[in-house]
Amino acid sequence: MTGELLSVGLDLGTSTTQMVLSRLKLENRASPWAVPKVDITEKEVIYRSPVHFTPLLSDTRIDAAAVRALVEAEYQKAGVSRDSLQTGAVIITGETARKENARQVLEALAGLAGDFVVATAGPDLESLLAARGAGVDKLSRERHGAVLHFDVGGGTSNLALYDRGKLVDTGCLDVGGRLVKVDALTHKITYVMEKLRGLFPGVAVGETATREVLTPVCQAMTEALLEAAGLRPPGRWLKHFITHKTVDLTVKPNYFTFSGGVADCVWSPGEDDFAYGDMGVLLGRVIRRGFEEAGAALLPTEETIRATVVGAGSHATELSGSTIFYRDVDFPIKNLPVLRLDCPVERLEEELERALPMYADEGGQNPVCLALRGPENPSYQEVRALARAIRAGLSPLVEAGEVTVVAVENDMAKALGQCLYPLLPHGKLLCVDAVHAAQGSYIDLLAPACGGTVLPVVVKTLAFEKGG
Amino acid sequence: MNETELKQMVEQMVRDLAGRGELHAAPKGEVHHPDPAQTQSPGSSGGCHSDITEVDLRKQYLVESPANGPAFLDLKARTPARIGLGRAGARYKTDTMLRFRADHAAAQDSVFSLVAEDYPAKHGYFPVQTLCETKDEYLTRPDKGRRFDEANQAILKQRLPQGAKVVLAVGDGLSSAAIEANAADCIDAIRAGLKGYGIEAPEVPFVKFCRVGAGDHIGQITDCQLICLLVGERPGLVTAESMSAYITYMPRLGVPESKRTVVSNIHKGGTNAVEAGAHIAQLIRDILDKKASGVDLVRS
């Protein structure tokens, strides 16, 4: 029992736009005489686009038409049609997400990127994808230690802390190579990000950039990274550059890694300080010196500038458990809000009744995905009681003819589905397990793969990862 | 060195190791049974030993001053193997040795003990017995564990319908503990799953002293299309509670083993009984659809 998924990753960043195509191999890893267990056994990037500058109409508007044309051209070069893409993620990252028309661009792209592709953004998910794309989860597992990863891009730095293969926390700082832009020929400063204005002498639009003028900016940013890494006590610069939150250092990092465009400049900055028309080269150099002086152990990563896009292409899609239940479901189900309840089964019906109206509007009750942990090694009676409580609690949805979607963590989805199905007047039921979805996240459930045994799932949230 | 000297030497060594007073030499020709109260291990308290089988081996790491203990525990979480045990000289530590023997004993107990007398009635199964009269006979005569005498054949004939689509059965097999832990939940889940596919299964026979081949005889007697027999697996040192389901299409005397589809490793550390039951229900439907089980099913 094997299968394959063709997945696309598209990263629309502050400074660069990139695309990758990945082939995900699915394989049953259980012995033929046991219950199947399908896993993604191989993730191979089969096409990498060149690194394009993100087309902008102005400092605050993305050129949606140009982005569209760019993606179409890349599909052609890769020799794929959008219909052949089964999963993946389009993400608008960094400062670009704050542009005025980010939403329209996403919408224009979502259509182009094939029916199955999810469009998503958000700094937590971005940090996670960049770290996974750089191979940091693997690195920390192999070294049995804690790794703090910085994806230093054009507009933001995404932080992710991994401990022995598991994600601990994420954060985001306004530290990036393109927060000051410089004309490559005249070295005149053409753009300064708001947070930097008026703080550093000579750093203003129209002034001439030199190493001496920009080094204090790079030092302040590096100081913020060092403070976030716990290598310096938290101070003024960390506070100044925080986007929404930094990582909570509940474990002390043993190693530090870098990806993103600036990471290339950390390792090999080159001769020309303004080769890319920004301060990335200088920033890379200052970061390296700062971390080395602080005695930090730096490790190289599998990917640098392409980490986020490889993360989106190869690591956004997870698989459900291999014993699941679905009947009369139209796939894919996209952007379903997750309602998470981890109360005892006796209170589930009542809690569902209380929570469901939050997902209703003038149009009536909107569908949700009910997420719960579920008992470990349940008895049949427990499964049946759970099925009854879910049926009763989800009555408004069931009676509106909506599909019932339940995502449990513990291995019991097929049994739960078989118990629940007869209780529904119209069928339309989907039960998956081995999926962790937190309250407030959204979930995409794609068409079954590998002989119908598993569902590819994309949880759009900061998800805790499955063990191991 | 004569026998007395040897005895004195051993006694001296034991005394040194135990750090206790005089040991009384056992009378000649008799095994020395130490008084439990005098041989408490340092870990026990209040005159009562803690149950060493309660410890989760995957979370127990006994090496002293390791370079990276948490990393080793990460590896241990992935295997039930007895690794990272530390040592005393060239040997296992006492805890490790005792645990090994305890697990081995549990495995043996599971083979030699019987499923509780009231077990079938408690779950609404009707009891039958193969030709074996005792556990010893069951273990030494596998052929007898596959056939029923006339009285038991009559019970099966009377309680089960002729020509049923599916017969579900439970047999003790080589682990009574496996059956008591898993069979009832699994049967309930299979039954519920089958109902969803529009298949009803009749009453469940509980077969005492059961080998997998007993299902073939039940098939012969009842002319059923398919039998699904839940049997306790030969216990190992990891678990004594592992159960398997043997599913045979057209079970008749003499059917080759290659015609069986098996779902193994049903226990709380493998696939839990309820979810396995749900999977088995679907498997039964597929086998009925394709009219084939075992190797034939994989080829179809």
Rounded CA separation B42/B44 (Å): 6
Pairing of strands B243-249, B226-232: antiparallel
Indicate yes or no: CB of A421 within 8 angstroms of CB of B196.
yes
pLDDT at B26 over 60: no
Nearest to A280 by CA among A11, A15, A95, A12: A15
Indicate yes or no: CB of B189 within 8 angstroms of CB of A32.
no
**How close does chain B come to A230, measured CA to CA in Å?**
22
Rounded CA separation A150/A211 (Å): 24
Say what the pLDDT of residue A463 is. Answer: 37
**How close does chain B come to A425, measured CA to CA in Å?**
13
Inter-residue contact A457 to A463 (CB < 8 Å): no
Inter-residue contact B273 to B123 (CB < 8 Å): no
pLDDT at B27 over 80: no
Cβ neighbors of B90 (< 8 A, separation 6 or more) are none
Rounded CA separation A422/A430 (Å): 13
Q: Which residue has the higher pLDDT, A66 or B249?
A: B249
CATH number at residue B161: 3.40.50.11240
pLDDT at A114 over 80: no
Averaged pLDDT score across all residues of chain B:
89
**pTM for this prediction:** 0.81
Q: Which residue has the higher pLDDT, A111 or A189?
A: A189
Question: Domain boundary at B66, B81, B116, which?
Answer: B116
Rounded CA separation A95/A16 (Å): 11
pLDDT at A448 over 80: yes
Question: Domain boundary at B116, B138, B160, which?
Answer: B116
If asked whether residues B227 and B111 sit together in one domain, one would say no
If asked whether residues B138 and B224 sit together in one domain, one would say yes
Show residues of chain A in contact with B192, CB under 8 Å: 380, 384, 415, 418-419
Nearest CB partner across the interface for A380, out of B185, B196, B271: B185
Domain spans, chain A: 2-121, 125-293, 320-462
- Of A388-392, B75-79, B128-132, B176-180, the poorest mean pLDDT is in B75-79
Question: Domain boundary at B116, B139, B155, which?
Answer: B116
If asked whether residues B183 and B273 sit together in one domain, one would say yes
Per-residue pLDDT tens digits for A119-143: 665 677 888 889 999 999 999 999 9
If asked whether residues B139 and B207 sit together in one domain, one would say yes
Token couple for A20: 């990758």
Q: CA of A299: how far to CAs of A174, A292, A414, B71, B224, in Å? A: 23, 12, 43, 19, 65
Question: Is CATH 3.30.420 correct for A125-293?
Answer: yes
If asked whether residues B208 and B123 sit together in one domain, one would say yes
The reply to whether B24 touches chain A by the CB within 8 Å rule is no
If asked whether residues B223 and B111 sit together in one domain, one would say no
If asked whether residues B192 and B291 sit together in one domain, one would say yes
Q: Which residue has the higher pLDDT, A328 or B11?
A: A328
Does the model's ipTM exceed the 0.85 cut? no
Q: Which residue has the higher pLDDT, B269 or A432?
A: A432
Inter-residue contact A21 to A45 (CB < 8 Å): yes
Indicate yes or no: CB of B274 within 8 angstroms of CB of A380.
yes
Averaged pLDDT score across all residues of chain A:
88
pLDDT at A111 over 60: yes
CATH number at residue B77: 1.10.30.40
Inter-residue contact A147 to A299 (CB < 8 Å): yes
pLDDT at B30 over 60: no
If asked whether residues B83 and B140 sit together in one domain, one would say no
Per-residue pLDDT tens digits for B176-206: 999 999 999 999 999 999 999 999 999 999 9
If asked whether residues B72 and B209 sit together in one domain, one would say no
Range of the domain at B63: 49-116
Per-residue pLDDT tens digits for B142-177: 999 999 999 999 999 999 999 999 999 999 999 999
Say what the pLDDT of residue A462 is. Answer: 44
pLDDT at A239 over 90: yes
pLDDT at A1 over 80: no
Say what the pLDDT of residue B24 is. Answer: 52
If asked whether residues B105 and B133 sit together in one domain, one would say no
Domain count, chain B: 2
Per-residue pLDDT tens digits for A343-392: 889 999 999 999 988 888 777 788 999 999 999 899 999 999 999 999 99
Q: Band of the pLDDT at A295, cuts 50, 70, 90?
A: very high
Question: Is CATH 3.30.420.40 correct for A2-121?
Answer: yes
If asked whether residues B244 and B266 sit together in one domain, one would say yes
Residue at B38 is within a domain: no
Nearest CB partner across the interface for A34, out of B184, B271, B278: B271
pLDDT at A218 over 80: yes
Instruction: Look at residue A67 and give its three-state secondary structure.
Output: helix
The reply to whether B130 touches chain A by the CB within 8 Å rule is no
If asked whether residues B53 and B137 sit together in one domain, one would say no
